[in-house]
Structures are given as structure tokens and as C-alpha cells.
Amino acid sequence: MSDPVRVRFAPSPTGYLHVGGARTALFNWLFARHCGGTFVLRIEDTDKARNTDAAMQAIFDGMKWLGLDWDEGPHKGGGRGPYFQSQREEIYLRYFEKLRDGGFLYEDGGSWRFRFARKRIVMDDLVCGHVEVDMADAATHPDMTIRRPDGGWIFHFVNVVDDIEMGITHVIRGDDHLSNTPKHLQLFEALAVTPPRYGHIPLILNSDGSKMSKRDTGSAVGWYEENGFLSAAVRNFLCLLGWNPKNDQELLDIKEVVQLFDVANINRKAAVFDLAKCEWMNQQYILRMTPDELAVAAEPVLVKAGIPFGTRAALAPVLALVRERIKRLSEIPAWVDYFFADAVVFDPEAVEKVFRKPGAMDRLRALTTGFAAIAEWTSPAIEAELKSCATIGGVKVGEFVHVARVAATGRTVGASLYHTLEVLGKARTLARFERALAMHS
């Protein structure tokens, strides 16, 4: 029986959580959950000059937002800690001495270097397949520094030591680390430890083929939460950046992804980031939400925007009208603000385009009279009366629709007019019509 799977995500707290890092964390998390293994969060915080508490918190917040709970690590503990490299100095010294005593290290200008064996390194990568690297030439593969003159440790050394100490069985990381793996394998060999299985996943590229940088929109996980994305939708999107479930499904529940996830189905070629696709996916998730779920998600967004929506019961029918038009939760305030305003704010362009048209105010007066006579305020009754007014007035229905929409909402674009007026209610609709007439006649 093979050893239980243990994987890790090991970010450095020197900046926000990048979507590339989040995708790496996600793939490790999926692999652990699929295999019934352990997912370890390890913080590589040895770069004291660049580490920040804000970056550390961004890692924790981003992973929690995406639902990537770790089994061992900060805030969780575990039997293989500490889980901050800055707290593991004694461990590194012990392994350093072991390598030095074994004749694998030599001093060079105050730093310590690891002496590579000059041979061909063969790797069986879980994603890249068979890889061979000839390290015979010291000019192209010079001996590796593992400790600086100031006593600071180099990434390669502490990374390997931590993987040994934490019992990591599989390392899934970006293929920009593929060139580091032969170095790491030599360290494992020198320490007489069986290395983990490595799988190097493709990088994430922009649509123009350039590497996604920190300056690109959507590169930070926190950006998605701030801009109205659902965490489940972003997680679904990241699952498909470099992994294929081998079917035509794009909208996948995370439980289903856990069942389907197979490292063998990770693509070898680079994944192309498409923010428009992520927005589409987010919209599909919004459409799948129950009315109550959407109201719960919308409430904090509306509170932040200062929109007094009242009760959830009052909010639900409004959201039902506009939900098909929303790609992000952050768009909700702009679509619903006029439902909850005491007085409509008229868009100047809408006024010029609609109210300044000859006969517009006469049509609005006719609608006001006709709507006042409606006994049962329903969208079919509203529609029938508006069309009757258009027939009597001898103009197209659209002429009455446009003037009614601007009078009721202040704008030319919105949800279905008849349903909008039904939700607004008869009294509020007529009051808005009267105000429009008073202001623009």
C-alpha cells in the first residue's frame, strides 16, 4: 500500500495572492481531496526585507475565499511544523551540517555551495513526462549556493528540507520550476531521501501570449472579491485553466471536480487567461442562485453602495427582474438603485432623447390618466393599457414605452418595463410620472 498523499502550497508573503499561485494551490488541494490525502500550507517567509503582514493576510484571505481549506499550517497547526520557514532555523542547521559532514558542501567567499554530481538527471514528471537534464558541464550548471555569507538560506535548500520534514509525497507547481527540479533531486540524493513525485503545470498566459503579470487586470485573487465575482465561479474558472475533465462540461460543482480530478489530465501547453470567460461563468453562477441566495449575496453590495433596499422581501422581486443582465454582483447597484430611490435622477441624455421629442409629455399625460384607472396593477394590465394609449395616440408602442421608462426610472435602459412598473407599484409609478411632468413639461 502506498503512503498517504501529502501535498503543499508554499507561497512567499511578498505580494498579493496571484491567480497563478491560487491555481497551483487549487490543483494541490484537488489532488489531496481526490486521494483522501493531506493539504499543507507552508509560508516561505525567509525574505525579511520583502515580507509584509498585508501580503500574509492576503494569502490567508484569498485561500479562504476560494474555499481552499488546509489541513496543516498556520492557524491549523499539525505535527510537521513550524509552518513558517522563519521559525525553522534549527532544522535547516541540522540538515546543513549533515550535508557538510557528508562532503557535499564547500565554502566560497563566505557563502556555502552544494557540489553537484556531474551526471545526467532523469525525471519522470507527472505532467511533462520523461525529462532528462545533463548536468555534466559546470559552466552551464554551476554548483548551487545554499547559504549566503550573511547566513541566509537559499530557496532550493530550505524547500527540499521542508518537503522532507513535512513528508511531502507529491509536488505540483508551475513549470517555471522545472529547471530547478534536477537541483532538488540531487539534494534529496545527497540526503539519502526518496524524493516526492513532481508535476509541473503550465503557466497562465494572456490572450496575446504574454506571461500574466501583476499589472494585468484580474491577476490578484482579491480583485475578484472586490469586483463582485462569486468565489465558486472563480474557483470553477481556475479549475479549467490547464486541466480538462475530459467531457464538455464547463460549469462544475467543486465536489464533482474533486471526483474527476486527475493529474494526468493537466494540459502540457500554457493556459490562456480570458477574463470575459470568467465573467460569463460568473453570470451563469448568478443565474443558478435561488432568489434567497442572490438576495443574501446582494445585500452587502447594496449596503456598501448606500442603497436603502429595505427588507429582503422587498429586494427579491427587484433582483428577479435584473438578474439575467448581471455579470458581477458589483453591477447590481446600478441596475436597481432607482427602485429604492425617493426621487428618480434623470439621465440628461435620456431627457434630451426622449422627453424633448415632440408630443412626449402629451403621451406621458395620457399614460398617467390611463394607468390611474387600472384596478388590478399587474404587468399584463399595464401592458394592455399602454398599448391602448399607443393605438389611440396613433403612434408606435415604443414611443409610449420610452417615455414611461424614463419617467419611472430616469434612464433609457433597464429590465422589462411592464414588470418594472408592477414591482414599483401603482402609487410610486404615478408619483414619478407626475414629477416628470412637473419637471419637464
- 190-201 in b/e form (b: 16+ CB < 10 A) is bbeeebbbbbbb
Given a contact cutoff of 8 angstroms between Cβ atoms, the answer to whether 354 and 401 are in contact is no
Any catalytic annotation for residue 246?
no
Return the number of other C-beta atoms located less than 10 Å from residue 25's C-beta.
27
Burial of residue 272 (CB within 10 Å: 0-12, 13-18, 19+) is middle
Q: What is the dihedral of CA 386, 391, 392, 393, to 10 degrees?
A: 90
Burial of residue 245 (CB within 10 Å: 0-12, 13-18, 19+) is middle
Residues 136, 142: Cα–Cα separation, whole Å: 10
Residues 151, 148: Cα–Cα separation, whole Å: 5
> C-alpha cell of 246?
475530459
Given a contact cutoff of 8 angstroms between Cβ atoms, the answer to whether 7 and 169 are in contact is yes
User: If residue 129 lies in a helix (H) or strand (E), which one and from where to where?
Assistant: strand 129-134
Given a contact cutoff of 8 angstroms between Cβ atoms, the answer to whether 83 and 91 are in contact is no
Residues 299, 306: Cα–Cα separation, whole Å: 11
Scanning the structure block, which residue is given the C-alpha cell 414619478? 432
The candidate with the shortest Cα–Cα distance to 381, out of 389, 355, 316, 338, is 389
The count of residues in the chain is: 441
Residues 224, 226: Cα–Cα separation, whole Å: 5
Catalytic residue among 214, 255, 269, 357, which?
214
Given a contact cutoff of 8 angstroms between Cβ atoms, the answer to whether 28 and 243 are in contact is no
Q: Which residues are catalytic?
A: 214
